Structure 1
């Protein structure tokens, strides 16, 4: 368990470092082109996330995301295939701590002054975007797991998040640990503390929708044939 929690801490932390660091670099390299900044930020995130899943997946399953860990516990309760409740709780703590550490690391690498983010991200459209992004992520991950294709998680999840940067209004945070981490960097990728609770709530709703869809489409793990 110690190794698994370390992997989740490092994975979530490095993911946030990739998101915040690439956002900061993009903002400095392309100060007058927000679209190009988003392209640079999303490209780095796609590549970084895929690498992190390959790196830490064999140790902890590479959740890096509280909603994935909680969904894993919920979906595996009957069969005993998922995380235990205690393990899921420990994963969530490690992921959130890692997310904060990753933001602070990115700030230090780019000499960003300390302080919390001031970028307000509010509105029904943005919250709906988080519901959609998170539901799709949960559905994708557990569709792969329940059909014996978990080995494809790195490219598939990376591709989904990269696409969701563009097709969701919120640019697809889809991760409470990442959301919490991004509070601690007042940069292109930051989110104001006042906006974060609503984002996390939307992500939890999206996770619930994703779990329902998993149960509807893939009710029997290891029995689905392609």
Structure 2
């Protein structure tokens, strides 16, 4: 079991790291290639992030592919994993996100750590994070609990690419990614002082999303149960 948990933690670390590299790196690239067009920068950033999520979930889902502490905590609340596993995976996600930001900064010739100056705070942005996170959880667990786990990658990639545009916060929807983005003073950055508000909103969205999943999908499909059983044993 220790080997299984180590594999899962490694997958979460690598996956979250590469996801954050996609978010931060594409933001830097977009700002350099399209310096006078913020809308085009956001389009480039959202497409790169959605595509990266699709690829990473497809590749790592057989091991572990949550990349998000809120998703992991809801897995715990639904009884899919135990408390120790949830804590280890969430820690791996946060550390992986920070490593991904450092790597992205260095790839583009920036300081390894440069605290963001971009303020992202206010009721509208916090509401957007509640909605973005709750929606993400419905997409993830609605797909899984209806027996279509093989389609999660496409559902999540599409949802996040779209949520960049329909939420005022550009849909962080992930505490690990939020923390990671505090240490890059680039297009994707968020000021450290703004991060707690985002994280609290994401946790509130997690509670809302969990309640919606339990209400809409009270009983997982037989195929979802079988897939969960296989995941525990591998």
Distance 1:34 1:95 in 2: 29
Q: Which residue of 2 aligns with 1:123?
A: 122
Distance 2:21 2:195 in 1: 18
Q: Which residue of 1 aligns with 2:67?
A: 64
Q: Which residue of 1 aligns with 2:19?
A: 15
Post-superposition offset of 1:185: 0.6
Q: Which residue of 2 aligns with 1:49?
A: 53
Q: Which runs of 5+ in 1 are unaligned?
A: 77-81
Q: Cα deviations across residues 45-92 of structure 1 (Å, max 9, x unaligned)? A: 1111100001111111x000000000001012xxxxx01011001011
Q: Which residue of 2 aligns with 1:24?
A: 28
Post-superposition offset of 1:223: 6.0
| 2:95 counterpart of 1:97 | yes
Q: Cα deviations across residues 128-187 of structure 1 (Å, max 9, x unaligned)? A: 000000000011111111110010011110000001000001000000000011011110
Higher helix fraction (1 or 2): 2
Q: Which residue of 1 aligns with 2:189?
A: 190
Give the total of aligned pairs.
218
Q: TM-score, with normalisation over the residues of structure 2?
A: 0.92
> What pairs with 1:1-226 in structure 2 (closer than 5 Å)?
1-60=5-64, 62-76=65-79, 82-113=80-111, 114-222=113-221
Distance 1:63 1:105 in 2: 21
Post-superposition offset of 1:222: 1.5
Q: TM-score, with normalisation over the residues of structure 1?
A: 0.95
Distance 2:42 2:110 in 1: 19
In the TM superposition, structure 1's runs of 4+ consecutive aligned residues that sit over 6 Å from their partners are: none
> Aligned Cα RMSD in Å?
1.0
Residues 12 and 92, structure 2, Cα contact 8 Å, conserved in 1: yes
Distance 1:50 1:137 in 2: 14
